[in-house]
Amino acid sequence: MTKTKLFEPYTLGSVTLSNRVVMAPLTRNRAGAGLVPSELAAEYYGQRASAGLIITEATQVSRQAQGYQDTPGLYTPEQIAGWKRVTDAVHAKGGRIFVQLWHVGRISHVDLLGGDAPVAPSAIRAATKTFVNNGFADVSEPRALELDELPGIVDDFRKAAANAIKAGFDGVEVHGANGYLLEQFAKDGANVRTDAYGGSVENRARLMLEVTAAVAQEIGPERTGIRISPVSPANGISSSDPQTQYDYIVDQLDALGIAYIHLVEGATGGPRDVAPFDYGSLRKRFSKTYIANNGYDLELATQQLADGKGDLFAFGKPFIANPDLVERLQLGAPLNQIDPATIYGGGAVGYTDYPRFADTTSDN
């Protein structure tokens, strides 16, 4: 049995977590009709309730916010009811669960938006693909959002946060990472606006901060977190000044009193050293919980925790194939290997049928 503070309880905002292992958001493209979480979703998340905290797959705040096939929403009564089945399943097993809310911005396709163009800070097409029509296709050409449209997007996040509480979630994570709308505004590779939402570091951060403030005001800062990725090139995003930019953003997030910042350290799902960046600067600037993410295993998480470089540690793909990841890490047990062919879309296969370690040993 591995002895490490990683498996000790931790207080996050208004909730107590059973350990410091976080299940990172993982897009699985299995929502049903009306973009309602599938019947299998409650089973899937319930199987993983031994994580200290589950952060759900990214969930759109409006119809316009969708960028991938069969991703769930949180803006209709049916979607709220679907998510309530999920939160009930997790809570029944003693788990804690936040929903990640997103607007994908330019990372979308006209076929997902009823023929409408995706929206963005500026009409700059991203050099990336999205999952649509059961396959990957280039994203569509976006249009630049008008200034008078931005309050509506802030309100969409606020309403979705209120819906999250109705659905029984313990809190909300704002998705400000991985090249989606809020990060598109924040980074000058995607934002060439000349109004109050473009140009300076302060102006480019404005929408991300307004959204986070609205969510915190709606549900309480102690139930609000945000995910950011200062140097990740995910979805064709880039920044000329990430350190200055994110030092400023985190100073403002700290002033809002939110529960946590969730950092993608390096390239999302790729090298941790993709570009120079001082994450310690953000750690010092933020007075509450720092969730560290990207490429973590037991050894790295244990070392970073001992060195004071994070409070909670998010594991992504290992949770897909290992519903009992926390127990496996504690036991030093081998991990199931993921089947790449079943990550996106489909049914129970590659979703709810990965075995627990106890089940494999009991067969011997």
CB 255 within 8 A of CB 287: no
- Is 181 within 8 Å of 153 (Cβ atoms)? yes
pLDDT value, residue 1: 53
Whether the CB-CB separation of 92 and 61 falls below 8 Å is answered with no
Amino acid sitting at position 130: T
Give Cβ neighbours of residue 43 (< 8 Å, ≥ 6 apart): 89, 352
SS3 state of residue 107: coil
Q: What is the pLDDT of residues 23-60, one digit of tens each?
A: 999 999 999 999 999 999 999 999 999 999 999 999 99
Percent helix, strand, coil in the chain, to 5, is 40, 15, 45
Q: Please give the structure tokens belonging to residue 67.
A: 């960028």
User: How far separated are the first and last CA of the chain, in Å rounded?
Assistant: 21
Q: What is the 3-state secondary structure (H, E, C) of 80-124?
A: HHHHHHHHHHHHHCCCCEEEEEECCCCCCCHHHCCCCCCEECCCC
> Which of 282, 283, 265 has its CA nearest to residue 274?
265
Contact between 207 and 153 under an 8 Å Cβ cutoff? The reply is: yes
Average pLDDT of the chain to the nearest whole number: 97
99-114 tens-digit pLDDT:
999 999 999 999 999 9
Q: 294: which 2 tokens? A: 């990207």
pTM of the model: 0.97
Question: What's the confidence (pLDDT) of residue 213?
Answer: 98
Q: DSSP labels for 255-277?
A: HHT-SEEEEE-SSTTS-TTSS--
Low-confidence ranges of the chain (pLDDT < 70): 1-2, 362-364
| Beta-strand relationship, 135-138 and 129-132 | antiparallel
Catalytic residue (one of 45, 75, 180, 290): 180
- HEC profile of 115-147: CCCCEECCCCCCCCEEEECCEEEECCCCEECCH
Q: What is the pLDDT of residue 299?
A: 96
Q: Specify the pLDDT at position 82.
A: 98
| CA trace torsion 169, 173, 174, 176 (10° rounding) | -160
φ, ψ for residue 59, nearest 5 deg: -130, 125
Which domains can be identified in the chain, with CATH numbers? 5-318 (3.20.20.70)
Q: Are 73 and 167 in contact (CB under 8 A)?
A: no
Token couple for 187:
């980074």
In the block, residue with structure tokens 């309480």 = 220
Instruction: Verify whether residue 296 is a known catalytic residue.
Output: no
How many Cβ atoms are within 10 Å of 345's Cβ, its own excluded?
16
Cα–chain center distance at 233: 16
